[in-house]
Chains A and B, each alone.
Chain A
Amino acid sequence: MNTTHDLDKYIRPSARRTTNCPGCGNGILAQSILRAIDDEKLDMDDFTFVSGIGCAAWIPSPFFYADILHTTHGRPIAFATGIKLASPDRNVMVVSGDGDLLAIGGNHLIHAARRNINMTVICVNNYIYGMTGGQVAPTTPMGLKTMTTPFGNLENFFDPCKLAIGSGATYVARWTVYHALQITRAVKTALNHKGFSFIEIVSQCPVQFGRKSGMGSTTAMFDHYKENAVNISKAKDMTEQELAEKIVVGELLNIEKPVLDDELAKLRTSFRERSGDAED
């Protein structure tokens, strides 16, 4: 086709056709992120994207036309920590899935949030391990039959945003892919926020989660998000029972705290300002 999409310049030419399943919410998120970068007139060459293993990790890798580090399972935040501290002037963004960032990678999320490193982590939550064929995840609802919980999930799940807040993240938000425009706004806020930004994006996986949960098709799951999302401004006045099946969306936290890369820079400067020409 000869018509250029306005976001084409941000997409790696050899990866223009995504490998996503039909209707995968990840594609909506990919576009929402690129719109934020485009709206803010940022340069992709000022970014380093880092992703782990899973379908969500394929959002930046190889789709985004920028420096990308596609890492081992669970560890993108650890690699990103090295990248950010070694090149603090660059925008570092991690995009990866719930299994990757919360199960195997949970410890790295906790500590990067605690350190309040200036980076943005987008946790794409489809409530399942999609790429490997639909196994249970730390976010999978209780009772759901998955490939590794064939008799129903016996485990509790947790709230990724609460984990991020408890660990020390300073900007935390949740949206679903129904909220494409709000995602773009949240990504802009995160990029401008000094400190550790964590955005959970609920994204439909019609092939693995949709089938197993009986939630059905792409559009049925999409409508489910639309109908069950409740903004935090309303949710804070609702009871736990009323919120039981709901997805609370919106900006959940936005505060300032000392940022590790800034503190390191200050330390370095304090050495340089000392007199004398001591050689290393």
Chain B
Amino acid sequence: MGIKISVDEHLCKGTDGCGLCMHVCPKNVYDKSEHLTKWGVKAPDPVRIADCNGCNMCMIYCPDLAIVIEKTEESI
């Protein structure tokens, strides 16, 4: 099973003021992004996506519904 994490930078209010996704993630999947979004904030960057267990906590707790977790069947 593959996991795709999409973070909508148009909706995200930034990991400095918010950061709930990073905070609730049990697997430390996210780092603060290196670049600034158009709003001047740092979105979460799922750098360790391979560690993601698909718990959906980041998606459920994002106050701006900016994160979508998709689980896909991948054949290798």
Whether A and B touch (Cβ < 8 Å) is answered with yes
B63 A26 Cβ-Cβ under 8 A? yes
Task: State which size class the interface on B falls in.
Answer: 20 to 34
Q: Name A11's contact: one of B19, B41, B65 (CB within 8 Å).
A: B65
- Most central of A1, A7, A21 by chain B CB within 10 Å: A1
Nearest CB of A to B23, in Å: 4
Q: How far, in whole Å, are A222 and B65 apart by their CA atoms in the complex?
A: 17
A18 B60 Cβ-Cβ under 8 A? no
Given contact pairs A21-B17, A218-B18, A222-B23, A31 touches B68 in the complex (Cβ within 8 A): no
Instruction: Please name all residues of chain A whose beta carbon is closer than 8 Å to the beta carbon of B19 when the two chains form the complex.
Output: 23, 217-219
Number of A residues, CB within 8 Å of B: 31
Given contact pairs A1-B10, A17-B10, A27 touches B17 in the complex (Cβ within 8 A): no
A20 B20 Cβ-Cβ under 8 A? no
Q: What does DSSP make chain B's interface, helix, strand, loop or mixed?
A: loop
A219 B23 Cβ-Cβ under 8 A? yes
**In residues 8-40 of chain A, which contact B (Cβ within 8 Å)?**
11, 16-18, 20-28, 30-32, 35
Q: How far, in whole Å, are A26 and B20 apart by their CA atoms in the complex?
A: 13
Q: How far, in whole Å, are A30 and B66 apart by their CA atoms in the complex?
A: 13
Given contact pairs A218-B17, A218-B19, A23 touches B10 in the complex (Cβ within 8 A): no
- Most central of B6, B16, B63 by chain A CB within 10 Å: B63
Given contact pairs A31-B62, A180-B61, A23 touches B20 in the complex (Cβ within 8 A): yes
- Most central of B18, B60, B65 by chain A CB within 10 Å: B65
Q: Is A206 an interface residue (CB 8 A)?
A: yes
Q: How far, in whole Å, are A114 and B14 apart by their CA atoms in the complex?
A: 43
A180 B60 Cβ-Cβ under 8 A? yes
Q: Name A31's contact: one of B8, B10, B17, B60 (CB within 8 Å).
A: B60
A23 B18 Cβ-Cβ under 8 A? yes
Instruction: Please name all residues of chain B whose beta carbon is closer than 8 Å to the beta carbon of A26 when the two chains form the complex.
Output: 63
Instruction: Please name all residues of chain A whose beta carbon is closer than 8 Å to the beta carbon of B23 when the two chains form the complex.
Output: 219, 222-223
Nearest CB of A to B17, in Å: 3
Q: Is A5 an interface residue (CB 8 A)?
A: yes
**In residues 1-47 of chain B, which contact A (Cβ within 8 Å)?**
4, 6, 8-11, 13-14, 16-20, 23, 41
Q: How far, in whole Å, are A25 and B18 apart by their CA atoms in the complex?
A: 10
Q: What are some 28 contacts across the A-B interface (CB < 8 A)?
A: A1-B6, A1-B9, A3-B6, A4-B68, A5-B68, A7-B65, A11-B65, A17-B10, A17-B64, A18-B63, A20-B13, A20-B64, A21-B13, A21-B17, A22-B13, A22-B17, A22-B18, A23-B17, A23-B20, A25-B63, A31-B60, A31-B63, A35-B60, A206-B17, A217-B19, A218-B20, A219-B20, A222-B20
